[in-house]
Structure 1
Amino acid sequence: MMKTLLTITAAALTLMGCAQEAGFHNDAALPAGAAGVAADFGAATAANHQAMTNPGEATVQLGQRFAAEVDTTVTFAFNSSQLDAAAQAVLITQANWIRQFPEIRFNVYGHTDLVGSASYNKRLGLARANAVVNFLSTQGISRSRLEALVSYGETRPVIATQAPEQQNRRTVTEVSGFVKGAPMLLNGKYAEVIFREYIASAVPPTTLSTSATATLDSIQ
């Protein structure tokens, strides 16, 4: 009997250690969906909670996530605001991400290289920002969520050169905040996002190590 209890206790301690290594916790202060699971599990519910309680910090974190998960920049040909196939492909991935979070607003910033006058380049940068907004709107994104069209013209180059430079001829899409009056509720559509996030963040069971497998084989 004593040997059985010791075996059960040892097994329990081993499981607790594995849970700690995997980043599991049980903090009742965390929002629903984040307690008792891996630290990155329930991210959508946690984000929704934070948006309701601290929208400024939530905006920063969503902006960082957007920048990490999609390419936020498209580039243009010299003296052009036309979107080529590569730019459209990037914007389609942006639109797919944006559609998942209907409560978020975005800014589109237009830029140019340093060739030409400052006033002309500011107009060209704005034309590029408008081209991006127009394309995103064809992908089902409301223009009210892309209302801030800003042109920095030639004032913020990626590469400081007077020569034509494609990396400077660009637009950048960024999270700017939350739609005014948007309900921060776990409605059906947002619940779909949460479900997808749970599935995406789930960690598959750890496979047995080679040595453990060899041990089991020898027992069999």
Structure 2
Amino acid sequence: MKKTSLLLGCLGLAAGCGDAGRDPVYTQFHREAGALIDTGGFGAATMNNTRLMTGEAQYTYDLAQRFASEVMTTVNFAFNSSELDAGARDVLREQAHWIRQFPEVRFKVFGHTDGVGSDSYNKRLGLARAQAVVAFLGSQGVSLSRLEAVVSFGETQPLIVTEGRERRNRRTVTEVSGFVSGHPQVLDGQYAAIVYRDYVRSAQPAPTLSGGSSIDG
């Protein structure tokens, strides 16, 4: 026992002498208080658990899947441009019609570019494209408070992997991102009712004139 204690003492002394004059190395077991700074994820797990328990996460996913299956979520752009052509405006009118049916839902518009140009320029261009889409949706009666165009992936998520010009990569994608905070149905947690509401409406037959022909809306 004494030999073991003596050996450990010598090893500790030798380690101390060997580290003399060196800056201390901080590990997860030996770190100054406050050495770690929160990177912004604090509370994320709790928030995610809350969204799962209330059903918000599931119903956000359900709405996102429905949106993607019922309308085109993508519009494309000319090279080095953020202007909307006639085809893009037609798609966005359909998006706006769908979005107006769900005043409780928020959306994000993601901007992308092809691989030509610098990373910084392409991120600015991608964001400009997303902002152009948001502005157009706003002109179609969608509240801008429900639309977000702050995230641009630039050239980092191509549909077609190429460093050259590719129209399919020059695009924006509109996605369901969550629910509007403060809305009465959201406060009551009626997420399922929001998703189900228009399914019921879509099953109702269109009104007809006395002659039997459908009314053209």
TM class by shorter-chain length?
0.5 to 0.7
**Gap regions ≥5 residues in structure 2:** 1-51, 206-217
Q: What's 2:48 paired with?
A: none
Q: Give the letter aligned to residue 200 of structure 1.
A: S
1:198 aligns with 2:207: no
Q: Partners in 2 of 1:181 and 1:202 — Cα distance?
A: 30
Question: What is the CA deviation profile of residues 151-209 of structure 1, one whole-angstrom value per residue up to 9, with x for unaligned ones?
Answer: 10000000000110000000000000000111117xxxx99x93x53242369xxxxxx
Q: Give the letter aligned to residue 69 of structure 1.
A: E
Question: What is the CA deviation profile of residues 34-86 of structure 1, one whole-angstrom value per residue up to 9, with x for unaligned ones?
Answer: xxxxxxxxxxxxxxxxx994111000000000000000000000000000000
1:183 aligns with 2:184: yes
Q: Partners in 1 of 2:160 and 2:148 — Cα distance?
A: 28
* Structure with bigger gyration radius: 2
Q: Partners in 2 of 1:199 and 1:121 — Cα distance?
A: 42
Query: What does 1:141-152 correspond to in 2, within 5 Å?
Result: 141-152=142-153
Q: Give the letter aligned to residue 128 of structure 1.
A: R
- Secondary structure of the residue aligned to 1:59 is helix
Q: Percent identity?
A: 62
Q: What's 2:141 paired with?
A: 140
Q: What's 1:83 paired with?
A: 84
Q: Partners in 2 of 1:200 and 1:160 — Cα distance?
A: 39
Q: Give the letter aligned to residue 59 of structure 2.
A: A
Q: What's 1:11 paired with?
A: none
Q: Partners in 2 of 1:161 and 1:148 — Cα distance?
A: 25
Q: Give the letter aligned to residue 132 of structure 1.
A: V
Q: Give the letter aligned to residue 58 of structure 2.
A: E
1:105 aligns with 2:90: no
Q: Give the letter aligned to residue 168 of structure 2.
A: Q
Q: Give the letter aligned to residue 104 of structure 2.
A: E
Query: What does 1:20-169 correspond to in 2, within 5 Å?
Result: 53-169=54-170
Question: What is the CA deviation profile of residues 119-165 of structure 1, one whole-angstrom value per residue up to 9, with x for unaligned ones?
Answer: 00000000000000000000011111013421100000000001100
- Secondary structure of the residue aligned to 1:107 is strand
Q: Give the letter aligned to residue 179 of structure 2.
A: F
**CA root-mean-square deviation:** 2.6
Q: Partners in 2 of 1:71 and 1:109 — Cα distance?
A: 14
- Secondary structure of the residue aligned to 2:132 is helix
Distance 1:137-1:202 versus aligned 2 partners, 3 A rule? closer
- Secondary structure of the residue aligned to 1:149 is coil
Q: TM-score, normalised by structure 2?
A: 0.64
Q: Partners in 2 of 1:80 and 1:52 — Cα distance?
A: 43
Once the two structures are overlaid, the 10-residue window that deviates more, 55-64 or 144-153, is 144-153
Q: Partners in 1 of 2:89 and 2:73 — Cα distance?
A: 12
- Secondary structure of the residue aligned to 1:83 is coil
**Gap regions ≥5 residues in structure 1:** 1-50, 204-220
